[in-house]
Amino acid sequence: MSEQPKRRQVIDPAVAALMRRQDEKEAEAKTPKAERAKRLKERMKAADRLPGRVNLDLPPALKKQVFELAEAERIPVSQVVAFLLAEGIRRLRSGELTFNPYRRPSKSPRYDWNLDIDDLVKNTDLSP
């Protein structure tokens, strides 16, 4: 007698998501009230910060320098970056700073130029 292979149960992704949400709600209901309030407060804080969030692609050497600077100055990284961005924009608008030495033609139909950030990082003394 041969053994029959077990049949896998296929669940629609939408149904699986509903079931997962129901399980999460049940687990939440079993959590102590103080813990639920704490989690809600954390979620609200995270949601309040969301409009100011941004993801950036930075060369690793530059990212390392920003983190080291923040640590040395004992300032949050996001505040160091915000300061440097604001100062850079101020200097660009005043004419003290220009993109021109680092502009390279873009292959993207969306942009005319790319900035050669790697060249900037290589030619800038980033040592503390």
Which tens digit of pLDDT belongs to each residue from 8-48? 778 888 888 888 989 888 888 888 888 888 888 888 888 88
Please tell me the distance from the alpha carbon of residue 22 to that of residue 76, in angstroms, as a whole number: 38
The number of C-alpha atoms within 13 Å of 45 and in the hemisphere containing its C-beta is 6
Here the tokens at position 50 are 């969301």
Please tell me the distance from the alpha carbon of residue 11 to that of residue 16, in angstroms, as a whole number: 6
DSSP 114: E
For the stretch 60-90, pLDDT in tens is 888 998 999 999 999 999 999 999 999 999 9
Please tell me the pTM assigned to this model.
0.61
